[in-house]
Amino acid sequence: MKFLVLLALALPAFAGLTIDKSKDIQEIKKMTGCYAIKFQSAETFAYSNDYDFYDRYASGALEWIFVDSENEDMVNLQHILVTPHAIVKHWRQQWDWEATNALDYRGFSNWDNKAVKNPQGNWVQRVYQVDDSPRYECSAPWIHTDKTSYWECTANAPLPRREFSKRSDYNVLRRTNRHEQTSYGHVHDQDNIKLDMLENGMELKLAMEKSYNTYEKVADSRCQPAIDWWKSHKYFWRDVVKVWDKELYSEDSVKIDFKKTGAPLWARLFELDDQMSSRPAYDSKESTQKIKTIIQNHILR
């Protein structure tokens, strides 16, 4: 059976698999709710004998995941962290049905906008960072069995936040991401390769990594602070998404300088969010212009 599944996955457009768009959407939406999350990562294999393994990583959080927007071909899930001291806008994942393009990370803060081969029956998962800048995108189908449902795809990504400020020996994390439903919620299972990519496209593999993030569903009431927070901040971040969409997908590629003008991109947008969302009446036109200025100042043409 395992061989047959692997063979099916190797065929163009995953031929022979039953396409059930409504079931796919149902499984995507199952990932919503309030979750106690455990993040765990460990390097498992080195490609050279002189590689020094890094310590294992583990942390936890409480997170609210919800559908912020949708249509018949798209489901947009927003994540918000609930911490003892603050509410923090977290990452976002947008699922696009049979999308014909996806951003491919090529290192050096550069993403190429590439055509998707055989998009039929596939969903492109577009993963965005806390400031809604790109992270990685990948096209694959949801697979449904009599025991579970899962989606799996391999894509290049920048370094994870837990390492980007600590390491300079690699610049691309090649992630095989698997989202799978479980009895307690869902799991984000990853098999990653850390590699140093040169500007000419050559790659030097350093190490393999296993990451296993579990999402255990808890009472929605525990995430009420995040629900309340979004009510006044959603207008700003929806404007951010609109600006990014025009910048990311209108050209063949995009390169971003995340620290240009002295402050990290995320910090400048978070600060602007506090300013604009705290006003008695939100001004979308003014916010959009300021958002556009910040984002365009960080894009290299």
Tell me which fold the domain 17-218 belongs to. Lipocalin (2.40.128)
Report phi then psi at 159, rounded to 5. Answer: -60, 145
> What pLDDT score does 16 carry?
52
The Cα–Cα gap between 182 and 203 comes to 35
> What pLDDT score does 161 carry?
87
> What pLDDT score does 158 carry?
95
Domain residue ranges in the chain: 17-218
The Cα–Cα gap between 44 and 54 comes to 10
* Cβ proximity of 142 and 150 under 8 Å: yes
> What pLDDT score does 9 carry?
42
The Cα–Cα gap between 57 and 41 comes to 5
DSSP H or E stretch at residue 114:
strand 110-115
> What pLDDT score does 270 carry?
98
User: Would you mind telling me the total number of residues written for the chain in this entry?
Assistant: 301
Q: Tens place of pLDDT for every residue, the chain, 301 residues? A: 443 344 344 444 444 567 899 999 999 999 999 999 999 999 999 999 999 999 999 999 999 999 999 999 999 999 999 998 999 999 999 999 999 999 999 999 999 999 999 999 999 999 999 999 999 999 999 999 988 999 999 999 999 988 988 899 999 999 999 999 999 999 999 999 999 999 888 999 999 999 999 999 999 999 999 999 999 999 999 999 999 999 999 999 999 999 887 789 999 999 999 999 999 999 999 999 999 999 999 999 7
> What pLDDT score does 17 carry?
66
> What pLDDT score does 1 carry?
44
> What pLDDT score does 285 carry?
97
The Cα–Cα gap between 296 and 116 comes to 27
Q: List, in order, residues 6 or more apart from 161 with CB less than 8 Å away.
A: none
The Cα–Cα gap between 253 and 265 comes to 19
**DSSP class per residue in 129-163:** -TTS-EEEEEEE-EEE-SS-EEEEEEEEEPPPHHH
The Cα–Cα gap between 200 and 202 comes to 6
DSSP H or E stretch at residue 33:
strand 33-46
Which amino acid makes up residue 267? A
